[in-house]
Amino acid sequence: MRPPLKKIDFFQGDKVEVCSNEPGFLGSYYEANIVSRLDNGLYVVCYKNLLEDDESKPLTETIYPKELRPVPPKIHTTQFLPYEKVDAFDNDGWWVGEITGRNGSHYYVYFTSSNEEIAYHYSKIRVHHDWVNGEWVLSNKS
């Protein structure tokens, strides 16, 4: 029998990441701040990098709790290993991929979701963590 899932509450001002369920963006995460928690248990978030359609201000959305997670812990590094699972920052969000090569300070990241390999400066890559049952787990190789 699996242990019950831990429920996490977020509070106004908490930094979070929001999982996208949109076609073509599935599995990507976007940085946001909690604006409020509604009486029905949903959260209002304000995105750090996504803008309203008219680009006049940051996008604000109402989100289900299951689409939220805290910001993962930071591991400062400039070195990544071949086949290491990482997150790369692109198109205003974090995308899961794996290291396939290196050229100086740039690493090639392969994304199974799109079958693409893209080079990123190491500053746009972070060590991947999985959010499992209310805790961050360091993800080794994919």
Model pLDDT, residue 64: 95
Same domain, 66 and 97: no
Residue 62 belongs to domain spanning = 15-70
**CB atoms inside a 10 Å sphere around CB 97:** 26
- Rounded average pLDDT over 86-112: 96
Q: How many domains does the chain have?
A: 2
Whether 1 is covered by a domain: the verdict is no
Same-domain status, 100 and 64: no
In a shared domain, residues 58 and 26: yes
In a domain, 7, yes or no: no
User: What is the model's pLDDT at position 16?
Assistant: 98
Q: Are residues 131 and 89 in the same domain?
A: yes
> What does the DSSP assignment read for 34-45?
EEEE-TTS-EEE
User: What does each C-alpha distance from 78 to 109, 119, 128 come to in angstroms?
Assistant: 14, 14, 14
pLDDT at 142 over 50: no
> What per-residue confidence (pLDDT) applies to 70?
97
- pTM > 0.85: yes
Per-residue confidence (pLDDT) for residue 66, from 0 to 100: 93
Q: What is the predicted pLDDT for the residue at 4? A: 52
Asked if 53 and 94 sit in the same domain, the reply is no
